[in-house]
Amino acid sequence: MSPSSRKTWQLLIRRLHLYIGLLVAPFIVVAAATGLLYALTPQLENQLYRSALEAESAPGAPAQPLSAQVQAALQALPASAAVLAVRPAPDARSTTRVMVADAALGPSEYRSLFVNPYSLALQGDLTVYGTSGVLPLRKQLDLLHRQLLMGEWGRTYSELAASWLWVAALGGVALWWLSRPQRAGAHVAHAPLRRWHHGLGLWLLVGLLFLSATGLTWSRWAGGHFGQALQQMGWQTPRLNTSLGTDASSAHAHHQPADSHADHAEHQAAPMAMAGMAGMAGMGPMPQDFDSVLAIARQHGLASAKLEIRPPAAANKAWTVTEINRSWPTEVDALAIDLAQGQVLDHNRFRDYPLASKLTRWGIDLHMGSWGVLNQALLVLLGAGIVAMALTGWLQWRKRPGRSREWLHGQLTLVHQWRQLPRTAALALLLVAAALGWLLPVLGCSLLALLALDAWIYLRR
């Protein structure tokens, strides 16, 4: 690379990095700070909801059958209540969750009763959220992190942050590499800030790229493109076949992918179906059915301590039992059971998932801190590091002499530097930007806005 071309690339990347730092970094900081809080929620919830989560028992007291625990929950509910799912106590000191549909709650919200497996006493009655069944505190922090409590359109903010995070990280590394000859003469006023900024960026690079990639997989627009790509390649998670009788042959279960982002894109059909099923005479599940289904699941290899049992969503559907242990090693196998015949219709094994589905599952779980305390600690460090990088970058810019003139200098704009590139390089950069704008629509739209501002600064000279 010639010195003039090197200088042009350096100025172009520096300008883009400046735009990201001043205009996009505030969104990245908010996402990092709220994500940091979310990573701490397991311990906070264990303390806040301890009375509901922990079951006390007399020494040597045996646990009651699951059917008795379900019956105890039903006695506290209206006669029309429909059981949506049951999560048996995963260990000797935990309660059992009985989740029911409630028309008064919002989408993907369920009422959950916490039953003591020994005394059958109800220890809690809380609203849980989504297929992951998160408790109220984590639900609020999750919504704050993803959408700033602003509804579906609020997700644009988090997608904007995830779309630009990797660009900022790689651009910073490129800028650090290209500016090596000039670093010896850096201004004394901000040399320590620059060392901190560069050091944090280099040490956290892999984590920043990971957060950006996994965040984009379940974003609204880029995540949609990602899901379509997996579907085209046949790499999505296999869907469990729950159809009974003649419907089973036409279901093509292993050719219908499931939503690998179910933790963040919740399904609402199941509670509505269960609510309708409750009104069908003779169709509602009996408490003792849960004992039978659990026994079949154990006989067929579902050994995880964390299970979720779901009754049929309709008369022609099967029971499902799913492992819900997202830590390492991952246990997410699932069974579809025809209880009337006492047989397993379908068995999804995590070991048989396509590699892309496994990576997606692991990526989401790591992003959410599901792999334990070390995973949480790394997320906290990443979140704090992002905030520190944004702060040191902003302070470094504030201490730069003539920053106002630099901001409005036409020859330092992206447009000007792009025009100085060789024709082949300029065309390649344009094509790459267009492709990224299509793959990551929020990145593309915000890039157009940045270019409009840049062009105005360039033309006003």
pLDDT of residue 301: 95
The owner of tokens 């065309």 is: 427
pLDDT in tens, 65-124: 999 999 999 999 988 888 999 999 999 999 999 999 888 888 889 999 999 999 999 999
What distance in Å separates the CA atoms of residue 6 and residue 28, rounded to the nearest whole number? 29
Please say whether the beta carbons of 321 and 307 come within 8 A. yes
CA dihedral 346, 349, 355, 358 (to 10 degrees): 110
Tokens representing residue 10 in the block: 């350096």
Please say whether the beta carbons of 12 and 416 come within 8 A. no
Please say whether the beta carbons of 217 and 223 come within 8 A. yes
What distance in Å separates the CA atoms of residue 63 and residue 66, rounded to the nearest whole number? 9
Identify the band that residue 192 occupies on the pLDDT scale cut at 50, 70 and 90. confident
Average pLDDT, the chain: 88
pLDDT of residue 189: 54
pLDDT of residue 270: 38
Phi, psi of 125, rounded to the nearest 5 degrees? -145, 100
pLDDT of residue 239: 93
Please say whether the beta carbons of 347 and 300 come within 8 A. yes
pLDDT of residue 103: 84
Tokens representing residue 393 in the block: 């970058």
pLDDT of residue 143: 93
What percentage of the chain exceeds 90 in pLDDT?
73
- pLDDT > 80? residue 281: no
pLDDT of residue 190: 60
Phi, psi of 129, rounded to the nearest 5 degrees? -130, 130
Identify the band that residue 373 occupies on the pLDDT scale cut at 50, 70 and 90. very high
- pLDDT > 90? residue 351: yes
Q: Return the minimum-mean-pLDDT range out of 61-75, 115-129, 203-217, 403-417.
A: 403-417
CA dihedral 147, 152, 154, 157 (to 10 degrees): 80
pLDDT of residue 179: 83
The pTM for the full model equals 0.88
Helix (H) or strand (E) run with residue 399 in it: none
Helix (H) or strand (E) run with residue 443 in it: helix 441-459
- pLDDT > 50? residue 279: no
- pLDDT > 60? residue 346: yes
pLDDT in tens, 215-241: 999 899 999 999 999 889 988 889 999
What is the number of other CB atoms lying within 10 angstroms of the CB of residue 153?
Answer: 10
pLDDT of residue 265: 38
What distance in Å separates the CA atoms of residue 320 and residue 297, rounded to the nearest whole number? 9
C-alpha dist (Å) from residue 333 to 52, 302, 417: 27, 7, 54
What distance in Å separates the CA atoms of residue 231 and residue 331, rounded to the nearest whole number? 23
- pLDDT > 90? residue 456: yes
Q: Vertex 182, ends 177 and 183: CA angle to 5°?
A: 75
The owner of tokens 């799912």 is: 85
What distance in Å separates the CA atoms of residue 253 and residue 330, rounded to the nearest whole number? 22
Q: Is 103 helix (H, G, I), strand (E, B) or coil?
A: coil
The sign of the dihedral angle between the CA atoms of 297, 302, 304, 308 is negative
pLDDT of residue 27: 98
pLDDT of residue 404: 74
Beta pairing partners, 86: 98, 309
pLDDT of residue 3: 75
Which of 131, 69, 56 lies closest to 97 in space, CA to CA?
69
- Burial of 315 by CB count in 10 Å (0-12 exposed, 13-18 middle, 19+ buried)? exposed
- pLDDT > 50? residue 305: yes
Q: Vertex 323, ends 39 and 296: CA angle to 5°?
A: 160
